[in-house]
Chain A
């Protein structure tokens, strides 16, 4: 069981907007630690999508955005495209566990 909780799956039609939630606790996201989001295609390494809650690395389309509030964070994808179909992971730090923590991952299906 992951320290950060994500829905196992989400889906949306091309062009639509989807959001993926990431719920932590008072010792992780709620303690003010930053949240990162990664995109992973089958058989490949994760790719950094969002860092420091809402910042996109160079080259990541502005269709991807992040937000954080209280003990939770969210990843939003607008203008959904077929090649957005992948697994998405949130990541933060937990002071009680004294380590980096990941969410369990969310599989995005583009209908």
Chain B
């Protein structure tokens, strides 16, 4: 059974960089899937942030593209998210997920990141 677990700081200062990691267990990050980040502001809907493939190929939400970097670390079986120049609007629960041809079949439990001074 594939499991994903997010980790990272729960509080980030405005204008800083949000950094999260998602560890994958029960499966290899080098398998034929895309590894994604999705976020959900408090009380609001889901927003796709972007994805990375095993070889490092990435796709990003155009609205966030200038601030987002998603990378994969095969040696640790994990992938990471960096979001720069954050504001209060980036406060959200951040989920990592596995995508099988644009279908998110496995999700992490989510981690709340608050942007505040």
Chain B residue contacts of A45, Cβ below 8 A: 95, 107-110
Beta-carbon contacts under 8 Å, B43-74 to A: 45-48, 50-51, 59-62
Contact (Cβ within 8 A) A102 B108: no
Compute how far the CA of A33 lies from the CA of B101 in the bound complex, rounded to whole angstroms. 11
> Which residue of the partner chain A has the closest CB to B51?
A100
**A36-B47 Cα distance, complex, nearest whole Å:** 14
B14-62 with Cβ < 8 A to chain A = 36, 45-48, 50-51, 59-62
* Residues in A neighbouring B107, C-beta threshold 8 A: 45-47
Give the complex CA separation of A47 and B104 in angstroms. Answer: 9
Select which of A51, A52, A99, A102 is within 8 A of B45 by beta carbon: A102
**By the criterion CB–CB under 8 Å, are A36 and B48 in contact?**
no
| Bound: A98/B63 CA distance, A | 11
A89 to B36, CA, bound (A): 17
Residue of B nearest to A102 (CB): B46
Contacts of A34 in B (CB 8 A): 101-103
How many residues of chain A get a CB closer than 8 Å to chain B's CBs? 26
Let me know if A57 and B105 touch, CB within 8 A.
yes
Q: Is the CB of B104 within 8 A of A99?
A: no
From known contacts A45-B110, A48-B104, A91-B104, infer whether A99 and B59 are also in contact, taking CB-CB under 8 Å.
Answer: yes
A/B interface sample: 22 pairs, CB < 8 A: A2-B45, A34-B101, A38-B104, A45-B95, A46-B46, A46-B104, A46-B107, A48-B103, A48-B105, A91-B46, A97-B62, A98-B59, A99-B50, A100-B36, A100-B61, A100-B99, A100-B102, A101-B48, A102-B45, A103-B45, A104-B45, A105-B46
